[in-house]
Amino acid sequence: MNAREWIHVTLMAVLIVSWDLAGKLIRDSGIKHDTVADKTVEEGVVTLERATTKK
């Protein structure tokens, strides 16, 4: 493998490990990540509705 491939493999490994650790921290903290995402989407929909309704 050349240097570019080594860098790519290393960065992908770091990404996978950090993603896994972040998921574990979210689960361990007791925060429901689905509810956080749902609330964000709901706020976005409300904002969009306000912007598109004519007064």
0.75 exceeded by pTM: no
Q: Is the pLDDT of residue 31 over 80?
A: no
The more confidently predicted of residues 18 and 28 is: 18
pLDDT at 34 (0 to 100): 61
**Better-scored residue on pLDDT, 34 or 14:** 14
How many other C-beta atoms lie within 10 A of the C-beta of residue 49? 9
Supply the pLDDT for residue 40. 74
